[in-house]
Amino acid sequence: MKISTRFSDSIHILAFINIYQGVIPLTSNNIASSIETSPVVVRRLMSALNKAGLINTVHGAADPVLAKSPENISLYDIFLAIEGDAHLFTIDERTNPQCIVGGNIQETLNGFYQQAETAAKAKLARTSLQDVIDTIRVKQAIKDAEKERRN
């Protein structure tokens, strides 16, 4: 199983809430316009983010808010909220237990995969939503300066 765009869309939602709060109404419709998906998809993801305690939403009302400061929300927190205990690598569960290889490969690969996965997740854990927002703003500032230069 590959990690779906749900993860990247969720980070998008959280960054959007932070950057556009007070600027435009934070309805699922407005957020969906930025992701170019449907409002239902956005609400589905926000429901998971809400349950995980990353945002606070109110049934019937727009304008969700981040439940913590962006410095204290890591990409791994978001990953957990959306993908739960999903794995980056998949192990074939149906191998012949009679065979030396088939009978031991699952446990064996599980160990090595776990290590690789943990390395990746540790990186995610060390990256905050604030890092993402900062990078977005810097990239936008560069674009704005470019545009200005051309005038």
- Return left, alpha or beta for 10; rule: phi > 0 is left, psi -120 to 50 is alpha, else beta: alpha
> For 100, phi and psi rounded to 5 degrees?
-55, -40
- Binder of residue 84, out of its own copies, DNA, none (CB less than 5 to 8 A by kind): none
141 interacts with DNA by CB under 7 A: no
Cα-only R_g, the chain: 20
Q: Which residues contact 12 (CB under 8 A, 6 or more apart)?
A: 34, 35
37 interacts with DNA by CB under 7 A: yes
Site for its own copies in 2-41 (CB under 8 A): 2-5, 7-9, 11-12, 15-16, 19-20, 33-37
Please state, in angstroms and rounded to a whole number, the distance separating the CA atoms of residues 37 and 44: 12
Q: Which stretch binds DNA (CB under 7 A): 10-18, 44-52, 72-80, 117-125?
A: 44-52
Residues 5, 37: contact at Cβ < 8 Å? no
44 interacts with its own copies by CB under 8 A: no
Build a one-symbol-per-residue string for 61-100: x at contacts with DNA by CB under 7 A, - elsewhere. xx---------------------------x---x------
DSSP strand pairing (55-58 vs 61-66): antiparallel
Selected binder of DNA within 25, 53, 102, 103 (CB under 7 A) = 25
3 state SS of 62:
strand
**Contacting positions for its own copies (CB under 8 A):** 1-5, 7-9, 11-12, 15-16, 19-20, 33-37, 75, 86-92, 94-96, 99-105, 107-109, 111-112, 115-117, 119-124, 127, 131-132, 135-137, 139-140, 143
